[in-house]
Amino acid sequence: MLTGTERSRNIPLSCLHEIHRLVGAHPRPVTALHVGEPYIRMPEEAVEGYCRALRDGHTAYLGARGLGALHEALAERLEDNGKPSPDRVFVTPGSCQAISAILQSIAVDGGEVILSELHWPMHFQQVTMTGMTTRFAPFGDGRSVTEALDACASDRVVAILVNSPGNPSGQVWTEAELREVHAWAVRRRVLVISDEAYEDFVFDGEPCRMANLDLELPPEDRVVFSVHTFSKGHSMTGCRLGYATAPNDDRAALLTRVQEATLVAPSTPVQYAGLAALGATAHLTEHHAYVRGTRDAVVDLLGDKLVHLAPAGGWYVLVDLGAFTGDTYLFSKQVLADIDVGIAPGRGFLPEGHPTADRLVRLTLCAERESTLDGVRRLTAYL
Ligand SMILES: Cc1ncc(COP(=O)(O)O)c(C=O)c1O
């Protein structure tokens, strides 16, 4: 047998998963500020859509790209975000799988993908899984977006992954910043993956409409894959339903090959649930308002000294504990052991050895408000 290092061995383990496991094994109930699991339950319309699909016998395989009626409805939802034709929309089992499949469809040997220094660990893991490597752009350190991209440019870069609103940063990119990313990518013939999982939770600023920037180009020159999910706005985390659009027919054909080789098809009844969820617009308004209210209260409780970046969107706030510890990974374990509060250490969200990695922790804003505030009060008292 050929020996060598399996690609899977290179996937970095995320310390988020370790905290998750520790919380699972904790002997007492835990106030969970370390994970994004929404308090607001999925819309009743979606529950009904799922049950009806089962009762009506919609249990057979569909094609790898998903249910036609859902493509049409999603293309309509994205009318103001890239105007994709339904045949460039892919329904996926969660948006994680969409990102993974897109990366596989664009991977080339020796290729590199640019991520923000502050990033969601799964993005890094997924790039590694394809055999490509990551370059980290120092966005937000005072340089312009173009300068940050220039600082990590190479001839091997095949894509930039942008996540707005960001996990864990809570940052919302301005249209001017998105334009800089897009112009840089087009100039260098690099693709863009726009992860818009938290698009329904923009509190300050404008939602990301990266794919609109592509409309100024002929189809063959378009660069933006845009990625969305039912997990966040529609609270359907466990249903595993996401979707993505490809920039043109060629990219769509390659992504179809990956999905056909991987999936067979996304769950049929879950897609009917998604179709029904799209009609539940009041749910999105309610959910947005709830998380926004929690954000305001949590940011208020923490105060300027502890909030690392004021979250303009998304489900999380980054807290700077540099005045209290030089190792937030150990500190997170200690907080769990001593006061039964789960918090996510910053180490997983930054490149190894980054100077702020051991100062930061991430707290969630999407859980039940009173228990979240109680957890934050206990944490600040502990500090
Ligand atoms: C930035 C980001 N993208 C994508 C996802 C994936 O969500 P899902 O696979 O549930 O659609 C998450 C989930 O936490 C996330 O934080």
The CATH number of the domain where 323 resides is what? 3.90.1150.10
* Per-residue confidence (pLDDT) for residue 177, from 0 to 100: 97
Integer-rounded Cα radius of gyration of the chain: 21
Q: Is the dihedral of CA 336, 370, 349, 121 positive or negative?
A: positive
- Assigned token pair, 166: 């960001």
Q: How remote is the CA of residue 122 from the centroid of ligand 1, in Å?
A: 9
Q: 16 CA to middle of ligand 1, Å? A: 14
Quote the tokens at residue 65. 């790209």
Task: Give the residue, out of 126, 195, 199, with the most ligand 1 atoms within 8 A of its beta carbon, to mutate for a pocket test.
Answer: 195
Mutate to test the pocket of ligand 1, among 14, 167, 362 (most ligand atoms within 8 A of CB): 167
96 and 179 together in one domain? yes
Same domain, 343 and 244: no
Helix 15-25 / helix 328-339 crossing angle, nearest 10 deg: 10
Distance 96 CA to ligand 1 centre (A): 6
Q: Are residues 83 and 179 in the same domain?
A: yes
In a domain, 24, yes or no: yes
Would you say residue 357 lies in a domain? Answer: yes
Looking at 277, 295, 322, the residue that finishes a domain is: 277
Read off the amino acid at residue 112: E
| Largest pairwise CA distance in the chain | 60
Residue after which a domain boundary falls, among 248, 277, 306: 277
Cα 324 to middle of ligand 1, angstroms: 30
pLDDT digits (tens, 9 = 90+) for 226-260: 999 999 999 999 999 999 999 999 999 999 999 99
Domain count for the chain, please give it: 2
Taking CA atoms only, the protein residue closest to ligand 1 atom 1 is 167
- Residue 148 CA to ligand 1 center (angstroms) comes to 25
H or E segment at 91? strand 89-92
Q: Is residue 1 part of a domain?
A: no
CA 365, CA 27: separation in Å to the nearest integer? 24
- Between helices 95-106 and 121-129, what is the axis angle to 10°? 40
Distance from the CA of 263 to the center of ligand 1, in angstroms? 18
Q: Do 95 and 204 fall within a single domain?
A: yes
Q: Which residues contact 15 (CB under 8 A, 6 or more apart)?
A: 329, 345, 347, 348
Domain presence at residue 135: yes
Q: What is the DSSP letter of 349?
A: G
Residue 15: per-residue pLDDT? 77
Phi (first) and psi of residue 69, to 5 degrees: -65, -30
The reply to whether 314 and 267 lie within a common domain is no
Q: How far apart are CA 281 and CA 45, in angstroms?
A: 10
Q: Flag whether 123 is in a domain.
A: yes
In tens digits, what is the pLDDT along the chain, a chain of 383 residues? 888 999 899 888 887 888 999 999 999 999 999 999 999 999 999 999 999 999 999 999 998 988 999 999 999 999 999 999 999 999 999 999 999 999 999 999 999 999 999 999 999 999 999 999 999 999 988 899 999 999 999 999 999 999 999 999 999 999 999 999 999 999 999 999 999 999 999 999 989 999 999 999 999 999 999 999 999 999 999 999 999 999 999 999 999 999 999 999 999 999 999 999 999 999 999 999 999 999 999 999 999 999 999 999 999 999 999 999 999 999 999 999 999 999 999 988 999 889 898 999 999 999 999 999 999 999 999 99
153 and 203, same domain (yes or no): yes
DSSP result, 197-219? TTTT-B-SS----HHHHHTTS-G
Residues 26 and 151 in one domain: no
Question: How is the beta sheet containing 112-116 ordered, strand by strand?
Answer: 89-92, 242-245, 224-229, 191-195, 157-163, 112-116, 133-137
Residues in contact with ligand 1 by the CB-under-6-Å rule are 36, 94-96, 120, 163, 167, 195, 197, 229, 231, 237, 242
**Statement to judge: residues 145 and 271 lie in one domain:** yes
**Which of 95, 124, 164, 271, when mutated, tests ligand 1's pocket best, judged by the most ligand atoms within 8 Å of its CB?**
95
Q: Determine phi and psi for 71, rounding to 5 degrees.
A: -55, -45
> What CATH number is given to the structural domain containing 202?
3.40.640.10
Note down the domain range covering 131.
44-277
From the CA of 163, give the closest atom in ligand 1.
1
In a domain, 2, yes or no: no
How many A from CA of 55 to the centre of ligand 1? Answer: 30
Distance from the alpha carbon of residue 218 to the mean position of ligand 1, in angstroms: 30
Contacts of 242 (CB under 8 A, 6+ apart): 91, 92, 93, 94, 95, 96, 97, 98, 197, 227, 228, 229, 230, 231
pLDDT in the model for residue 141: 84
Residues 71 and 31 grouped into a single domain: no
268-304 residues labelled b (16+ CB within 10 A) or e (exposed): bbbbbbbbbbbebeebbeebbebbbebbebbbeebee
Specify the pLDDT at position 335.
97
Same domain, 26 and 82: no
Mutate to test the pocket of ligand 1, among 120, 171, 193, 317 (most ligand atoms within 8 A of CB): 120
Which residue's CA lies nearest to atom 2 of ligand 1?
197
**Residue 348 pLDDT:** 87
**What sign for the dihedral angle of Cα 7, 259, 178, 295?**
negative
Give the distance (Å) from ligand 1 centre to CA of residue 175: 22
Residue bearing the CA closest to ligand 1, atom 3: 197
The phi and psi torsions of 110 (rounded to 5 degrees) equal: 80, 5
214 vs 70: CA distance, rounded Å: 23
Residue 348 lies in a domain: yes
Same domain, 90 and 204: yes
Residues 28 and 60 in one domain: no
Nearest CA to ligand 1 atom 16: 167
Last residue of a domain, one of 215, 243, 277: 277
